Amino acid sequence: MERGSATGEGARAPLRKRLERQRTAGEKSPPGGFRAALAVCFLLVPPVLLLQRWQAGPAPAWLFAADLPPEANRDIKDGVFDDLSPSAQIEYDRLLGGLLIEGFDERSCRSRYQFARYHKSERIPSPYLIERLRRQEALQKKCGPGTKSYRSAAEQIRSGQSINSTKDCNYVFLIIHAGLGNRMLEITSAFLYALLTDRILLVDRYKEIGDIFCEPFPGTSWLIPSDFPLSYDEFTLGSPESYGSMLQNNVISGNMYRSLASAKPPYVYLHLDGNYGFHDKLFYCEDDQQFLKGVPWLIIRTDMYFVPSLFLIPSYHEELSKLFPEKDTVFHHLGRYLFHPTNDIWYSVIKYYRTYLAKADKIVGIQIRVYEKKGILQRNGPFPHILEQILSCSQNEKLLPEIAGTDKAATTAGNNRTVAVLATSLSSWYSDEIRKRYSKHRTVDGTTVKVYQPSHEEYQKSRNRKHNMKALAEIYLLSMSDELITSGFSTFGYAAQGLAGLTPWIMYRSVNHVVPDPVCGRAMSIEPCFHQAPFYDCKAKRDTDLGKVVPYVKHCEDVSWGLKIVNRTRL
Ligand code: GDP
């Protein structure tokens, strides 16, 4: 959709133009702080290395400020942040419609208040959501690490004794795993569940969360303290501590299961991973939610966006419709509330954006995720049918201009328009091929297409800090696009579309290496898909199609058995 279009999605372009004007002005006369920072930079970094890092070109090396010596690091970061920041005259809502509050230290987490400079949203959070977030912040502070309440709750786990009375401070503790996109979806799901059940959210401290995200809650930490009394990494499918096993083994059953007054265990492990079994899935039933209410600690392992199934639990209906009158904005609002990339990552994002993308009239993000086993990728990849799919989707849907067969075939001499393609992929081959095609031939309408790809990591390496930082930076860069093409099934793409508030064109997964027909389709909403959603009707006690129960939870476009939230009023 072009600038000024009915959806208003192109409304980012004027902001980008203003940023660009300012950047150009800044280049002519760099501010004093930035000049000083550059001087420090040149003194401290070997010039050859610097040249390599700052080389202009379609796929530049990444510069993470963390790579520089610590002394330079601080000055350069501050200087460049200032230089990259649009002037105060540019109006933007730094608190994202009230999702955020003032009072955090800006220097230690620039992205928190700068995000809105690069993202415009038409979705306004409800006053009730804002009120609940403030209440949640107070609860996080009252019950969080270091407080008397936390110590006493941790002590309950140590003692192993059953609980007879309800406490003020109850906890959801999320064991983090999987790739970056999955992590963002699982944290958001756990946070919504915490909001709905008046619990505080704590997350696994050992999975680089502190390296990639700033703390979201004021005056407290969301990282579980290192002296947490359980070896939770061992919890898995079938662990005796799991709710599913307790039900299956009749540890919780009969009267005790039904009775709210009965004693509760100090903690329950909820195995909500993709491989979960029938009894684990009963978590999504009303009766089971009632039972779990009095358990002080719920320890969740999931790799999924389980929000759509929360919308199907009757006791949460009213609260959810007050929190999200526009139903398909759950990830959009909660993701922008929770996730603030740390300075190293944010620096890379805005530097790349300003250098390569800001000048364009339109940015088209193309997220390319190829699901093949490593051996097949090594033997047979890259795959021409995926390249064909990308080009067909982007040209058929008029996101990119068609390429003229010969120079003569071009109908327009040239129109001064530039489209920047931001491609993200583990492989560089696809964007190299797209770039080659657009640089060798003219486009039918004379538009210039430039193709950029920030990194190509070849393989997923989820335990590598730098790798995760690049992945997160790319999710944020994709979220700065005007239009987005994503690969079906991929949570990496879901996270980008949700942060942006863009309904993407989803490229369907190919079978037997054949280009699918149709190649892609417009998503129904900006929400992620819950891949392994249960299909059990808790009341009728039989399997049913849960994509047909309420009009705002439907099957996903890319995963036919999955569930996603759509906004009824927008269909
Ligand atoms: P999903 O597997 O596609 O659902 O997405 P996840 O983000 O959960 O996991 C994939 C992981 O592979 C990412 O977190 C990255 O570590 C890596 N990865 C996949 N695609 C890309 C990409 O385009 N760029 C980068 N930098 N990493 C990627």
Q: Provide DSSP, 551-569.
A: TTEEE-SS-TT-EEE--GG
The residue-averaged pLDDT of 258-270 equals 76
Rounded-to-integer distance, Cα 290 and Cα 313, Å: 11
pLDDT at 205: 87
492 ligand 1 Cβ < 6 A: yes
**Which atom of ligand 1 lies at the shortest distance from residue 473's CA?**
26
Answer whether residue 153 shows pLDDT above 60. Answer: yes
The pLDDT confidence band at residue 207, using thresholds 50, 70 and 90, is confident
Answer whether residue 444 shows pLDDT above 50. Answer: yes
CA of 180 to the centre of ligand 1 (A): 6
CA dist list (Å): 91 to 98, 479, 524? 15, 20, 31
Q: List the structure tokens of 307.
A: 């929000």
Mark out the alpha helices in 259-304 (DSSP H runs).
Answer: 278-281, 286-292
Tell me how many degrees the CA angle 564-567-571 measures, rounded to the nearest 5: 105
The pLDDT confidence band at residue 571, using thresholds 50, 70 and 90, is very low
Answer whether residue 478 shows pLDDT above 70. Answer: yes
Burial class (CB in 10 A: 0-12, 13-18, 19+), 24: exposed
281 ligand 1 Cβ < 6 A: no
Among 498, 120, 135, 142, smallest CA distance to 305 is for 498
pLDDT (tens digit per residue) in 28-65: 333 444 344 444 443 444 433 333 333 334 444 454 55
CA of 454 to the centre of ligand 1 (A): 13
Burial class (CB in 10 A: 0-12, 13-18, 19+), 243: buried
pLDDT at 549: 93
User: Which 8-state DSSP code applies to residue 226?
Assistant: T
Among 285, 211, 327, smallest CA distance to 536 is for 285
Q: Whose CA is nearest to atom 10 of ligand 1?
A: 179
Q: At what angle do helices 127-143 and 148-159 cross, to 10 degrees?
A: 70
Q: List the structure tokens of 252.
A: 């919780």
180 ligand 1 Cβ < 6 A: yes
pLDDT at 400: 98
Are 266 and 157 within 8 A, CB to CB? yes
Among 211, 195, 206, 194, smallest CA distance to 299 is for 194
Q: List the structure tokens of 147.
A: 């407080």
Q: Work out the percent of the chain whose per-residue pLDDT is above 70.
A: 80
Query: DSSP 3-state assignment of 365?
Result: strand
Rounded-to-integer distance, Cα 356 and Cα 360, Å: 8
Q: List the structure tokens of 170.
A: 């109850």
pLDDT at 249: 86
Q: Work out the percent of the chain whose per-residue pLDDT is above 90.
A: 68
User: Which 8-state DSSP code applies to residue 90?
Assistant: S
Rounded-to-integer distance, Cα 564 and Cα 543, Å: 18
Are 271 and 243 within 8 A, CB to CB? yes
CA of 427 to the centre of ligand 1 (A): 11
Among 356, 353, 340, smallest CA distance to 499 is for 340
Q: Whose CA is nearest to atom 26 of ligand 1?
A: 471
pLDDT at 77: 52
428 ligand 1 Cβ < 6 A: no
The residue-averaged pLDDT of 209-225 equals 96
Residues linked to residue 202 through DSSP beta bridges, in sequence order:
173
> Please, which contacts does 438-444 make with residues 24 or more away whose CB atoms are closer than 8 Å?
438/403, 441/403, 441/404, 441/405, 441/406, 441/407, 442/403, 442/404, 442/407, 442/410, 443/401, 443/402, 443/403, 443/404, 443/410, 444/401, 444/402, 444/403, 444/404, 444/409, 444/410, 444/411, 444/412
CA dist list (Å): 279 to 261, 262, 271, 314, 519? 22, 21, 10, 19, 38
pLDDT (tens digit per residue) in 293-334: 989 999 999 999 999 999 999 999 999 999 999 999 999 999
CA dist list (Å): 328 to 8, 184, 284, 321, 417? 18, 17, 20, 11, 33
Query: DSSP 3-state assignment of 328?
Result: helix
Give the pTM.
Answer: 0.87
Cis before residue 518, ω within 30 degrees of 0? yes
- For residue 226, the one-letter residue type is S
Rounded-to-integer distance, Cα 481 and Cα 502, Å: 9
CA of 8 to the centre of ligand 1 (A): 29
pLDDT (tens digit per residue) in 329-360: 999 999 999 999 999 999 999 989 988 999 89
pLDDT at 62: 54
Q: Whose CA is nearest to atom 17 of ligand 1?
A: 460
How far is the first Cα of the chain from the last one, in angstroms, to the nearest whole number? 18
CA dist list (Å): 277 to 270, 288, 534? 11, 15, 10
426 ligand 1 Cβ < 6 A: yes
Are 341 and 212 within 8 A, CB to CB? yes
Rounded-to-integer distance, Cα 354 and Cα 85, Å: 10
More confident residue, 398 or 60: 398
Q: Whose CA is nearest to atom 25 of ligand 1?
A: 471
Q: Where are any strands of DSSP class E within 396-447? A: 418-424
Q: Provide DSSP, 243-270.
A: HHHHHHTTSS-HHHHH-TTS-B-SEEEE
Tell me how many degrees the CA angle 271-373-392 measures, rounded to the nearest 5: 105
Are 340 and 112 within 8 A, CB to CB? yes
Are 443 and 404 within 8 A, CB to CB? yes
The pLDDT confidence band at residue 185, using thresholds 50, 70 and 90, is very high
User: Can you tell me which residue has the tokens 């009303």?
Assistant: 286
Are 345 and 401 within 8 A, CB to CB? no
Among 12, 66, 1, 79, smallest CA distance to 39 is for 79
